[in-house]
Amino acid sequence: MGGNPAYLESISIAIKKLFGGKVSEFCKHGELFLTEEIESLLTHQFSRLSTVEQEVIKSLAGEAESISISRLIESLNMSPSDVGKAIVSLVRRGLIDRTETDEGTFFSVRSIFKKFI
């Protein structure tokens, strides 16, 4: 969820209602679940993305692991400029994560958005 206040508030309400406020009980399930409020927020966020951003995030969501921008450009067959702009926008919006390693920079979709897509 990336610390998004709206997501955290929705999950805290769900934990109170479903698990009597016991976070440990919630964590036992080990799987993200989307409340109606979170699905609505994610639907709204997704609908506000440009077509290129939607394609980029869908492609990233289909990957099991983080991928490089070069691999993303190849798989999408889009201009590097369009993909770059979309990546910058999606990182800024908190929808994808950027990881830097010795091998380079890699991108992945946040787990909650991946489950949504």
Domain ranges (residues) in the chain:
5-44, 49-116
59, 75 contact by CB (below 8 A)? yes
Class (C level, CATH) for 49-116? mainly alpha
Query: Which residues of the chain are under the pLDDT cut of 70?
Result: 1-4, 30-33
State residue 99's pLDDT score. Answer: 93
| CB proximity list for 19: less than 8 A, separation 6 or greater | 25, 26
Handedness of CA 105, 115, 45, 58 (dihedral sign): positive
How confident is the model at residue 3, as a pLDDT? Answer: 62
Whole-number pLDDT of residue 12: 82
pLDDT of the residue at 57: 95
pLDDT of residue 2: 57
Q: What is the pLDDT of residue 30?
A: 59
Q: Is 106 helix (H, G, I), strand (E, B) or coil?
A: strand
| pLDDT attached to residue 33 | 67
